[in-house]
Amino acid sequence: MTKWYTFFDRSFERIFSDANQKWIERATLWLSILGFIIHLILIYSKRFGVFETTFETRLLEDPISAIYTPFSIILVYEIYLLIMYLPRSFTTAISKQFEIISLILIRRIFGDFPKIDLDVNWFENSANTQLIYDLVGVLLLYFLIYLFNRVRKKIPIKPLSERIQRFVSSKRAVSLVLLPVMIFTSFYSVFYWFYGLFLENQGAPLLLDINRVFYNEFFTILILANVLILLLSFQYTERYSQLVRNTGFVICTILIMLSFSTYGLTNVLLITSSVLFGLLILMIYNAIEKED
């Protein structure tokens, strides 16, 4: 069994090494710039009649929508970081998860700007009210994530025992499996969305909203990974407070996943309630730890 733990540790350190992380970070930067420029070129090419699309695409109507592309690329890098942070601790991983959903919400704002209608009563247009919900939601998320990270830093760092090291190795094994699954899911989701566009052109309904491409599946898989880690933790700790905290963080992920099936105010409320629930769980856990 020790050989397997050593294999997982070495494989993880090789794949998620500092050199690889820096290379992916640089690639993300240049791809974001390139994607932004290409998106702008497509927008102005369509505006001047260089080409026409056979399906509705609001992301090619307004130059502000070009910000949507670099944000999408940055989100891919954030997911890579989340998979890398997963073995560290539940709190570190859930914090990165909250940051990802906040970036998804910010990206949606840029993608939905072309839908804004200034010629009607503001509250009579669903896209206008959605913008208000999203802006307020981003502010609340930003503040709640700040509070969560502030509370997280107060957790005392305990020495790494042999049992905990085995648990970390087990979580690294989960990350190693999660990485190729996420890569495959992302390519499949993008292909499925493009396929839906062509079906829509033939009279069939659009299969996926672009704001939901990949991330619904991503959080579903993340829930399964978190549950697996939670089950693995049972053999390394019997402390009630820690088990409830970890279970609470799984609930946070479920709330985020449910938000992808809703629209409007309900969507933003589910996202913010997820972060608020995680914050309260962590605050109660810290209070119990101080008493112990």
User: C-alpha dihedral over 134, 138, 140, 141, to 10 degrees?
Assistant: 120
pLDDT the model gives residue 185: 85
Residue 111: which domain range? 2-291
pLDDT the model gives residue 64: 79
Residues of the chain with pLDDT under 70: 1, 51-59, 160, 193-212, 238, 292
pLDDT the model gives residue 58: 67
List pLDDT tens digits, range 65-88.
788 888 888 888 988 999 999 888
Q: pTM, whole model, 2 decimals?
A: 0.84
pLDDT the model gives residue 56: 52
d(CA 185, CA 160): 34
pLDDT the model gives residue 255: 92
pLDDT the model gives residue 205: 43
Secondary structure (DSSP) of 92-121? HHHHHHHHHHHHHHHHHHHHHGGG--TTS-
- Give yes or no for a contact between 215 and 186, defined as CB atoms under 8 angstroms apart: no
pLDDT the model gives residue 202: 46
Number of domains in the chain: 1
- Which helix or strand (DSSP H or E) is residue 279 part of? helix 264-291
d(CA 60, CA 53): 10
pLDDT the model gives residue 203: 41
